[in-house]
Structure 1
Amino acid sequence: MTGPVIYSVSDVSDSQAAALRRRFLEAVEKEEVRDHVHPQDIVRARTDDLWCKRFMAHGDLEIDKAFDFMMDSVKFRHEWQVNELTHDSVVTEFFERGTLSVHGRDRDGAALMIFHSCLHERTHGERFERVKQFLVYWVEKIER
Structure 2
Amino acid sequence: MRKNEGKFYISLTGENSHEVDIPAGQGSSISIAPKGYGDADAYVNADTPISWSAFDGMQIPAGGHWPRFFYYAGNDAGFAQWSQGREIESFFWAPQKDVSLDLSKAHIRRLSLDCDRFKICVRLGVDTRKAENFTIENAGGLKGVSFCFREDDAKGAEPF
Q: TM-score, normalised by structure 1?
A: 0.25
Higher helix share: 1
Higher strand share: 2
Larger Rg: 1
Q: TM-score, normalised by structure 2?
A: 0.23
